[in-house]
Structure 1
Amino acid sequence: MIRFRRWIRWLWEQEGSHGQRARGLAAGVFCGCYPFFGLQTLLGVALASLVRGNHLLAAAGTWISNPLTYVPLYWFNYQLGCWLLGPGHGWPSMAVLKQQGIWELGWSFSSRLLLGSTIVGALSSSLLGVLYWRWLKLQSLPG
């Protein structure tokens, strides 16, 4: 609980306007919804630069995907892609993922995962960015 409070305080004390901070967090969350392991933070910071957002919050936003959330997040993204594009070959087993990796499963799998990731990323980053911006505004009101 102490770590969580420190993390919240760290988020609260970031530099920049409320808009810059919210855009940075949103950029990181958007990039964190993609299965580009090892590149999410770089992509989040790059996107934050494009939208003039806070770079540290962008890096923190990519933590939406972590070892505890990888499988549920990417499974959901894939299922959403299947719902929009039609059924694919199915979600691979852990043995197949360990042996082949995500990107070696072909375009049928990758296209569904990327489409789902784009939609989930756009919706989650928009929602979290707006909520964070509103929270910052409310906290800065006098009294």
Structure 2
Amino acid sequence: MIKTIPKQPEGRSRHRWWSRHIHYYYYRLLRLQDSPEAIARGATVGVFWGFFPFFGLQMVLAVMTATLVRGNRLVAMATTWVSNPFTYVPIYAFNFHVGQILLRFQDIDLTDVDWTSSDLFYLGGKFALTLGLGCFVVGSIVAMLTYSLTVPALYRLRRLRHHRRCRSRR
């Protein structure tokens, strides 16, 4: 006789899948052999490049920069996913708005464009400058916050892990 395992409802199994993956990556983060500062530098670089619209190049730029600043390259690649298909539009719209405020370019309105080559050339340069400055400023601020929050958090997580290990050995 063959025993069958009863199926769980779809919602519960999906929850367990996400839960397992979150725990897996949490423990991978705890077990990284780099110093908390190197991991934080990697996260900082990845988050910074994640705020730029260089689709496909974000990870390459993050790894190159992480190598230069001696940050963790794996963490740098992973944290570029702060911008993903679900967050592209709000992040870049916010970055563009910040660029408009800083450059005082309030006349860029994409709804009133004639779409002639001269208008597009003029608007393209202005648009790229506005978005680029906004991405740089927002990315820099979020990167600094990432570093300042990640280093103490990693020290705390490692300390907690060490205490748990010591307790379990008793």
TM-score (norm 1): 0.85
Match of 2:39 in 1: 21
CA RMSD after TM alignment: 2.0
Match of 2:84 in 1: 66
State the 1:5 CA deviation. 2.2
Single out whichever of 83-92 and 42-51 deviates more from structure 2: 83-92
Single out whichever of 80-89 and 7-16 deviates more from structure 2: 7-16
8 Å Cα contact 1:15/1:54 also seen in 2: no
Of 123, 144, 160, which residue of structure 2 is paired with 1:126? 144
CA distance in 1, matches of 2:109, 2:91: 16
Unaligned runs of 5+ in 1: 97-102
Name which one, 1 or 2, has greater alpha-carbon Rg: 2
The residue matched to 1:136 in structure 2 has which SS?
helix
CA distance in 2, matches of 1:127, 1:113: 21
8 Å Cα contact 2:50/2:58 also seen in 1: yes
Equivalenced residue count is: 134
Which amino acid in the other structure matches residue 109 of structure 2? G
Does residue 1:48 correspond to 2:66, yes or no? yes
TM-score (norm 2): 0.72
Match of 1:90 in 2: 109
Unaligned runs of 5+ in 2: 1-17, 116-120, 164-170
